[in-house]
Amino acid sequence: MIKDTELEAWQQEWRDQTEPLPELKNKIRRQNLRTVVAIGAISVCLAFSTAAALAGWGSFVSGLATGMWVASVLLGSYAWRARRGSWKPAAQTTLAYAELAYKRSVAKGRILRFAFYFLLTAAVLYAGFVIWRWRATSERNLLGLVLAAMVAELFLMLYLARRNRRNVEEARKLVDQTNQYSDVVQTER
């Protein structure tokens, strides 16, 4: 029997370059889509708040627009920094996609923690402003509504952080399993 070494080399290359898990690839695609939608939503909110402030809706709206711009720049720069290295997979393998999912989960945890403390600081400062201006303004309902929304968002961030911890653990397990499988396959060769 004649051995076809070229065929064996192609088979080996095919085994090395296996397609990533479809579920994992779809998860990464959904994350990319959510990122694009979030950037679009933030851009629309910033444009609307700027237009409202320039239209002269009052000093409260101008302050709100300024605060949104400052928060967007600070949180956006931190998110950009935290997500370094987690934009695309290093290769088209299951291990590369698993590592990317893990890096993104860790980055999301860091961003949520930073955003939580940022919002907590903003809520405390805003609560001081509300207490100071409570009797002097006719916009009490609006001031209270914004403060209630900030507190509700703090609780939402705590929930998301807890959920993200589970995602980090699952991604870590997937990376470990994929590493073990690739080690077993390499030792068999």
- List of the chain residues with pLDDT < 70: 1-3, 11, 13-20, 182-189
pLDDT of residue 16: 59
Residue 12, domain member (yes or no): no
Q: Is residue 11 part of a domain?
A: no
Q: What is the pLDDT of residue 34?
A: 92
Task: Tell me if 4 is assigned to some domain.
Answer: no
pLDDT at 188: 53
In a domain, residue 16? The reply is: no
What residue numbers bound the domain in which 110 lies?
Answer: 21-188
Within 92-139, residue ranges assigned H as helices are 94-133
In a domain, 100, yes or no: yes
**6, part of any domain:** no
Q: Is residue 14 part of a domain?
A: no
Q: How many domains does the chain have?
A: 1
DSSP label of 136: T
- Output 41-48 pairs: Cβ under 8 A, ≥24 positions apart: 42/72, 42/76, 46/72
Any domain includes 9: no
